[in-house]
Structure 1
C-alpha cells in the first residue's frame, strides 16, 4: 500500500532550504538555519524528511564529510570536489564521458544505473593557508 506524504510547511521549508543553497548542507545546518523561522522544528523532523526526500529522488547524498552526511538539491548528474581540510563541497563543471560508463559495463558485465564522481583535495583557501604556514 502506497502511503501518501502530506505536505506541510516544515517539509516544504526543509526541501526548499536544501535546494536553494549550493553549500551541500548537512541536516544539522538545515535545522539550525530553519529553526530561526520555525522555532518548533526538531532535528528528528529534519532527518526524517531528508530520508524521504532521498528515497523520492528529490535530493542526493554527497557523502559523509567531517562526520556529517551532506546533501545536494541538484539531482542532475554532476561532479563534486570535497576539500579534505575545511570540508567544503563544491560543484565541479566537468562532463562525465559516456564512453567510460560503457567501458565499465562491457568489461564488468554490469548495467550502470547512475554514477557519481567526486574529487578530493584542498580548496584554494586551504592551499593558501597551508603554503603560508609552511613558509613561516
Structure 2
C-alpha cells in the first residue's frame, strides 16, 4: 500500500514538473486589442497552440453577422466528448466568459478562478479569430 501511495506522489510531482513550462507560457500571455467594431461577416476560426506544451491547445469558431459576433463555438478545449461546453462544479463555463468578452467588446474580462490558465487560452483563441475577422485597411 505504501508503494502505491509513493508511486502516486511521484507521478503527481513528475506531472507538475513537466507541465510547468506550459503553465508559465500561458501565465505570461499578453493580449492585443482587436477592433470589435470593425468585423467582416463570415465564419472565422481562432486557436491557441502552446509552444512549451500542447495540453491546453484550444480552437474555436466565431460567426460574425452584420458586423457583430452572433455565435461562438468551442471546437477544442473546454468541451465534453460530445462537443458541448463543459460546466464546472461551481456552475461556471468558459464559453460564458467568451460571450462576456464579446458583449463588453474587450478581452480584459474576469477569468474563472481555479481555471485561469484554461480561460486565458480560450481568450487567446478568441483574439485570434477576431483578428482574422477584422477589416484590414489597404495602404
TM-score interval (norm. to shorter):
under 0.3
With structure 2 as the length reference, what TM-score do the two structures score? 0.28
Q: Which structure exhibits the higher relative contact order, with contacts defined as CA atoms closer than 8 Å and separated by 6 or more residues?
A: 2
> TM-score of the superposition, structure 1-length normalised?
0.28
